[in-house]
Amino acid sequence: METLDRTALTSLLDRPALRRLLEAYNDQVEETRIVGGAVRNALLGRPVTEIDCTTTMLPEAIVERAKKAGFKSVPTGIDHGTITVIVDGEPFEITTLREDVETDGRHAVVHFGRNFVLDARRRDFTINALSLGFDGQLYDYTDGVADLVARRVRFIGDAHTRIREDYLRIMRFFRFHAEYADGDPDPEGLAASGAERDGLAILSKERIRHELLRLLVARRAEDTIRILADHGFLAWLLGGAAEFGRLVRVSADRNIGSAAIHRLAALAIMVEEDAERLRERLRLSNDEHKTLGAYARLLCLLKSSALPVDVVAIRRLVADHAIEILEVVLTASVGEPIPVVDADAYEALARFRNGAEPVPVFPLRGADLIAGGIPKGPKIGELLARGREAWLTEGCRTDENYAKDLLGRVLEQG
């Protein structure tokens, strides 16, 4: 049964900046259409945030037409025929119609053309090959509409051939399945992905990382991660064990588990060595690695303590760890024997998160010790570390009387 929102296509064409663009790039000789994700998402009633177009015009002509229309153009991918044209501050990628002449599994040598059918058939999935003309006509050369209605992701033509053109399409197959499909993966696509998976080894780690992180926040991420595991992909991607239960628990709480890196932590981090391995295996950014390391250290800390996490413990934990990481670890561990978390501890954590209660800050500074007679040097750091340890143990008090007492005790140790 038809369940697509065709009225959304009209709304798409009514966008002022896009309309100006299409008016400038369509005439009796040249044709430019909206293509790919914007058309797909509009039909599904999903938000359209990026709009790509394809055109019969060569890259140089795209730039010249932009100049004539008063638009700014940026040659973001001119070797492959892509120019970003900015209209009223809104960017649109316009790409010349293409045919792949030669591929090596990572890159393609392309030939510019004027045939919309051939351009559509060189794309990866049927649901990505739809195009929309300036007159509102929807073009579907690969049965993409039927696949959208059926909520399935299917390669165009022979799946093996499509994958060998760019092995990243294996990762994209699973990501698109997680985001757009219902039911099981397309059997032909799944079989071809399994048969061709050795080709993933020639791809850059950055490309693999990009697709995996996007998959982890997709609509059916948990189901699809299990499929990856069942078919041998996940062990290769992670190079280690996976914790599906923790991933499910973190993903279920959108306030906590909306970040892909938090989901990766829940899935793949058990000890700090896991963070180091994934940093290299997925070429993680410094910030991403830092997040995984923080998660690992806090997880190990809580798992090594048989004491219940109560209100006082929460106060110590938020003073020493990022609140968002603490929330992820506690959420991931719900239902596990350790840690045991008191109900009022969650309420205390919520107060720190929403600002109802300020995060306690260690009340002593090096200047306090110097003013108390401790000379500058390594001793200052040593005494501050001891003082902080005592402060954490004693409940992270911040009142003035306590600070004076703590300073006195620290100075006595000097």
Are residues 390 and 347 part of one domain? no
Decide: 34 and 52 in contact? Cβ < 8 Å.
yes
Which amino acid appears at position 21 of this protein? Answer: L
Interatomic CA distance for residues 394 and 331, integer angstroms: 26
Q: Is the peptide bond before 339 cis (omega within 30 degrees of 0)?
A: yes
In which band, very low, low, confident or very high, does the pLDDT at 331 lie, cut at 50, 70 and 90? very high
Are residues 406 and 274 part of one domain? no
Are residues 301 and 254 part of one domain? yes
- Residue 195 placed within a domain: no
Give CA separation, 148 vs 6, 54, 176, in Å. 12, 21, 12
Strand order in the sheet with 52-55: 72-77, 82-87, 90-96, 52-55, 32-35, 131-132, 138-139
- The CA dihedral of 80, 86, 91, 95, to the nearest 10 degrees, is -20
Are residues 406 and 344 part of one domain? no
Are residues 398 and 329 part of one domain? no
Which amino acid appears at position 3 of this protein? Answer: T
**Of 78, 65, 76, 74, residue with least CA distance to 21:** 65
- pLDDT for 306 beyond 90: no
pLDDT of residue 3: 73
pLDDT of residue 106: 62
- pLDDT for 82 beyond 80: yes
**Of 275, 272, 204, residue with least CA distance to 238:** 275
Domain extent, residue 389, equals 366-413
Residues linked to residue 99 through DSSP beta bridges, in sequence order = 111
Q: How many domains does the chain have?
A: 3
Per-residue pLDDT tens digits for 380-407: 999 999 999 999 999 999 999 999 999 9
Are residues 248 and 111 part of one domain? no
Residues linked to residue 112 through DSSP beta bridges, in sequence order = 98
Decide: 12 and 137 in contact? Cβ < 8 Å.
no
Per-residue pLDDT tens digits for 224-261: 999 999 999 999 999 999 999 999 999 998 888 789 99
In which band, very low, low, confident or very high, does the pLDDT at 213 lie, cut at 50, 70 and 90? very high
pLDDT of residue 414: 75
Per-residue pLDDT tens digits for 166-189: 999 999 999 999 999 999 999 999
Per-residue pLDDT tens digits for 280-297: 999 999 999 999 999 999
Decide: 94 and 51 in contact? Cβ < 8 Å.
no
Q: Give, for 108, the enclosing helix (H) or strand (E).
A: strand 108-112
pLDDT of residue 192: 98
Give CA separation, 297 vs 177, 265, 301, in Å. 34, 11, 6
- Residue 89 placed within a domain: yes
Decide: 153 and 40 in contact? Cβ < 8 Å.
no
Are residues 125 and 49 part of one domain? yes
**Which CATH number covers residue 56?**
3.30.460.10
Q: Model-level pTM? A: 0.89
What mean pLDDT, rounded, does the chain reach? 94
pLDDT of residue 327: 96
pLDDT of residue 111: 85
Tokens 């620290």 correspond to 410
pLDDT of residue 1: 35
pLDDT of residue 77: 81
- pLDDT for 100 beyond 80: no
